[in-house]
Amino acid sequence: MKFVIDKTALLVVDLQEKLLPAMHDHERVLARSLVMLKCAKALGVGVVTTQQYPRGLGETVKVVRDELEPNDVIIDKTRFSACTDKVMGVIESGGYKSVLVMGVEAHVCVMQSCLDLKAAGYHVGVVVDAIGSRNPLDWDTGIARFQQRGIELMTVESAVFELVGDAKAEGFKKVLPLIQ
């Protein structure tokens, strides 16, 4: 099954002020996350953002918040999985069949979110160049576990071009400058 624009949501997990800098290679995680987010917005893909215990870990980083539109939701949570009732309500009401997931930490919140989405019957992909963990071993182990559990591994570029589908599509011209 392919990821298509009108049936796919992007779940942005816990890219927060105090959490993100603790990630190994956090500059890459943020840079690739921003490219994915900008492309999703350009294509009209629905975006849901979570933040884990913002009182302790800070708000979603400003550069990510700046890419969101007023109707985009940021949902606070304390569960490690982003699949709270509010998040699932947004995904269900959007009629999405697929969810692309990015954020931190790969082996905890991103992992548990992907597993819960898959268990709920969604087609799930994790954007591997837009996820991070504090420890590289945790990231590596997370990637292996995603594979074992049937979660599709994608890069930002592969996810975006799969969403677009055709170089003649209107969306291709919108995302090409963002990808290059």
* Catalytic residue positions, numbered: 14, 77, 109
Write b or e for each residue in 36-70: b if 16 or more Cβ atoms lie within 10 A of its Cβ, otherwise e: bbbbbbbbebbbbbbbbebeebbbbbeebeebbee
Torsion-angle region of 174 (φ positive above 0: left; ψ -120 to 50: alpha; else: beta)? alpha
Q: Under a CB-based contact definition with an 8 Å cutoff, are residues 141 and 148 in contact? A: no
- Cα separation of 25 and 128, whole Å? 13
Neighbours of 24 (CB within 10 A): 16
Q: For residue 136, which of 29, 11, 12, 10 has the smallest C-alpha distance?
A: 29
Which residues are registered as beta bridge partners of 101? 11, 126
